[in-house]
Amino acid sequence: ADVNIDMVGRRDEFHTESNDYVYLIGSNYLSTDLYNVCEEVNAKYIHTNLDYKFNDKKDKNRYYYRSDHYNFAKNGVPAVFLFNGVHADYHKETDEVEKIEFDALTKRTQLAFAIAWEIANRKDKLVVDKSDGK
């Protein structure tokens, strides 16, 4: 499996009141197991809001197709993309380290670690039970 994190230290326009969220994209496209692992480790350890707003492959932003995890998914490897959404400094030189919300960054990276840890320590591989990776 691939656990991809990209842009996980800020918040977007849809979460101005709280940074206690992360977008999950693709966890259910190839493997029900991967989706369940994400949900279960979050409920057990992290307790953040898992937002599936951009999980639709037909989403106009096409985030599923725009990051490193996609090359795994299109080749049948279950993948999940953790993402904070875009912000005003997206792909600009004004995206500076002092704008990172380290509490959010910490929680999101802990979630990514917990997902990877759970997958690595399972008795069985994640079952690929869907063919929606492309």
Overall number of domains in the chain:
1
* Residue 118 backbone phi and psi in degrees, to 5: -60, -45
b/e for 24-36, b at 16 or more Cβ within 10 A? bbbbbbbbebbbe
In a domain, 56, yes or no: yes
Exposed/middle/buried for 132, CB within 10 Å: 0-12, 13-18, 19+?
Answer: exposed
Domain membership flag for residue 24? yes
- pLDDT single digits (tens) 41-96: 999 999 999 999 999 989 999 999 999 999 999 999 999 999 999 999 988 899 99
Q: Supply the pTM of this predicted model.
A: 0.94
- Dump pLDDT digits (tens) for 96-120: 999 999 999 999 999 999 999 999 9
Domain assignment of residue 133, yes or no: no
Structural domain containing residue 106: 2-120
CATH number of the domain encompassing residue 52: 3.40.630.10
Residue 126 lies in a domain: no
State the pLDDT confidence band at 134, using cuts at 50, 70 and 90.
low
Residue 125 resides in a domain: no
Q: Is residue 132 part of a domain?
A: no
Confidence at residue 60, expressed as pLDDT on a 0 to 100 scale: 96
In a domain, 134, yes or no: no
Assigned domain for 95 exists: yes
